[in-house]
Chain A
């Protein structure tokens, strides 16, 4: 028998919130991985200005709290513009409307801004992790590939990037699971994710303890599922490694 605070309305809201949390985690997680890979490459391979830019990006977005970045992009940036320009640029245009149609979020700009902040923050953290993975790849391997006629890009893709990501994958997984929990911060800028829905339900039913414990359990379940998924990717990336190790290549 379900307790009386579990109404159909609550279940529907929680389902929508959970879907949004999962969607934000996957989309911004994938984007953050791409950003991290790009920044790691530019620090690892790049010279001069690329290297400096990569380093500056990583240090700035890693050392400023994620919440400050979220508030900055969501609440602060639109305030630079006059009221009418603000509406056209941030709250009432084709892109924002499209996001709103797909996600059915009341103020889509806040979702876009919070997602951007999460991508930059997690991207900077992942860049450091991936770069340390790239540094474990022996340079002889890259040289061997180049002398066999591989282009610079092919050598980067098959050896530096793949090898770096593979060796850093446990740390990448840990960070991505942390990223899942970081998405709860978007509730602070009125994005109706899982935690925002939980807070809304508390305000309606005054069942704070029940809903907060439920939130904790749901995030634990989501992290557990995500851990399993990431482990599958890790195993996939590591396929054949044992054989190659035995052959000594």
Chain B
């Protein structure tokens, strides 16, 4: 039992911020992957989500296809495709795949939010002299983003959990570092359960913590 604990304690820093002498990794890498892909993905998602409601049929079709195609492909396939097609390193490939993945889900949420704006609100703004761009930036987007904020936060948490799939490319995230810590050595096999329980607990604490914070914030807000 004590050797189990010792193994976990020795490896905890490796799981949280990476192995000494190597580039930072572990949970830090998982969080970086999640934050960047949610952040950059958000910008893409706003463009695609607005494109859903464009005046031009071609733009609507392009926006709809983007969401449908990327949401229809498993993340694990998207990661390998990204590595194969863009020919960059594994870390870049992971970022590209996760940005595509997260943006398509966020775009769908934003699109729903824009669709839910009362037509009256838009008509009123137009009547007061706002042009379409002004309506979009001062009415439609702020309104829909506020309504859709809980859904977007939930999606961000999902992306954080899904970063674990980058282990297939060998990006040194939390999951990969657990695999490296255990290695192929048979003498480590008794540590597998404890290690993966610890890894699961770390993911749980981050994901559950964020979702509780998000729920509490949503409950405080009126309407």
Which residues of A are at the interface with B, using a C-beta cutoff of 8 A? Answer: 59-60, 63-69, 71-72, 75-77, 79-80, 181-182, 184-185, 187-188, 195, 198-199, 208-209, 212-213, 215-216, 219-220, 223-224
Neighbour of B208 across the interface among A59, A188, A212, CB < 8 A: A59
Q: How large is the interface on B (under 10, 10 to 19, 20 to 34, 35 or more residues)?
A: 20 to 34
CA distance A80 to B195 in the complex (A): 12
| Chain B residues with CB under 8 A of A63 | 161, 203-204, 207-208, 211
CA distance A60 to B204 in the complex (A): 7
B20 within 8 A of A: no
Cβ contacts B73-86/A at 8 Å (1 or 0 each): 11111101100110
Q: How many A-B residue pairs have CB under 8 A?
A: 94
Neighbour of B175 across the interface among A60, A68, A198, CB < 8 A: A68
Given contacts A68-B175, A68-B196, A76-B195, list 16 more A-B pairs with CB under 8 A. A60-B204, A63-B204, A65-B161, A79-B189, A181-B72, A181-B75, A185-B165, A187-B76, A188-B76, A188-B167, A208-B80, A208-B84, A212-B80, A215-B77, A220-B69, A224-B72
CA distance A224 to B68 in the complex (A): 10
- A71 nearest CB neighbor, chain B only: B196
Contact A76 B77 (CB under 8 A): no
A143 nearest CB across to chain B (Å): 28
| Chain A residues with CB under 8 A of B78 | 216
| Chain B residues with CB under 8 A of A182 | 74
Cβ contacts B152-171/A at 8 Å (1 or 0 each): 00000000011011011000
Contact B73 A64 (CB under 8 A): no
Can you sample 14 A-B contacts with CB below 8 Å?
Answer: A63-B203, A63-B207, A63-B211, A65-B203, A66-B161, A67-B165, A68-B196, A72-B193, A72-B196, A195-B74, A195-B76, A199-B80, A209-B85, A219-B72
- A63 nearest CB neighbor, chain B only: B207
B192 within 8 A of A: yes
| Chain B residues with CB under 8 A of A215 | 77
A171 nearest CB across to chain B (Å): 11
Contact B196 A76 (CB under 8 A): yes
Cβ contacts B168-184/A at 8 Å (1 or 0 each): 10000001000000000
- A183 nearest CB neighbor, chain B only: B74
| Chain B residues with CB under 8 A of A67 | 164-165, 167, 175
